[in-house]
Amino acid sequence: MAVRKVTDERSFTKGGGTVRTELWQDDSSGHIVKYAFAYVNAVICSADNGRVIGFDNAHTYPDYRSPHHAHWMGTVRENFGCAEPLLVLDRFERALKCLKQHFGRRY
């Protein structure tokens, strides 16, 4: 299975944060097989390398049944409810809107 990165985007927020979106696609099937979405802002969260929120399937954590997991303010949990990458991206984008409203200028 040949996999290539098809999306690698970074944007920066006024509050010093970074939003990162990465997608990898299987060349033969065209399916998105790997993803990583993260909002990093060490001013808001110093744990987990500054990751405020993130979703990815880059690796499996010990005792987790699947590689799909979510990061939130220094904690990591399995992401059972949503493993389809484009639905996870939608969830991530909605979470970013909520964070922007909550943190205002610090976002």
Q: What is the DSSP string of 65-83?
A: SSS-EEEETTEEEE--S--
- Cβ-contact 29, 36 below 8 angstroms: no
pTM for the full predicted model: 0.91
Range of the domain at 100: 3-106
Over residues 4-53, the pLDDT tens digits come to 999 999 999 999 999 999 999 999 999 999 999 999 999 999 999 999 99
Please state the domain count of the chain: 1
Backbone torsions φ then ψ of 63, nearest 5 degrees: 75, 5
